[in-house]
Amino acid sequence: MTVTEETTTPDGTSTQTDEPTLESIPETNGHGLLQRLCFWRRGKTWLEIAGYHVEDIHTDQPVAIQEGATLVGNVFAPRLVVAGLLTGSAVCRDLRVEKS
């Protein structure tokens, strides 16, 4: 004997409860500035890269490569936002590449 659980009543209405869904975040300003500021509110201090740098970055802080900046090297960080140019590799848990 197989027991199955019906998801509808005889009159056709659903007996399942609605599962929580993720809310989509709309595009704020096209550059992600407001989303970056959201991280500031969480108490994280960002390491911001501006200009031209040739180095590897090993840090426990989130890293942001600003628009117009160039980083030649590897990045090891929990979060990385790339608005400029990264020539190297990135090892992180959260990576976001922004178009300019």
pLDDT in tens, 49-92: 999 999 999 999 999 999 999 999 999 999 999 999 999 999 99
For the cut 60, the answer to whether the pLDDT of residue 39 exceeds it is: no
What is the structure's pLDDT at 10? 57
In sequence order, the 6+-apart residues with CB closer than 8 A to the CB of 17 are none
Average pLDDT over residues 36-60: 81
pTM of the entire structure?
A: 0.57
> Which segments within 1-100 are labelled E, that is strand?
47-49, 52-54, 57-58, 63-65, 70-72, 75-76, 79-82, 85-87, 90-91, 94-97
What is the structure's pLDDT at 44? 72
In sequence order, the 6+-apart residues with CB closer than 8 A to the CB of 88 are 56, 71, 72, 73, 74, 75
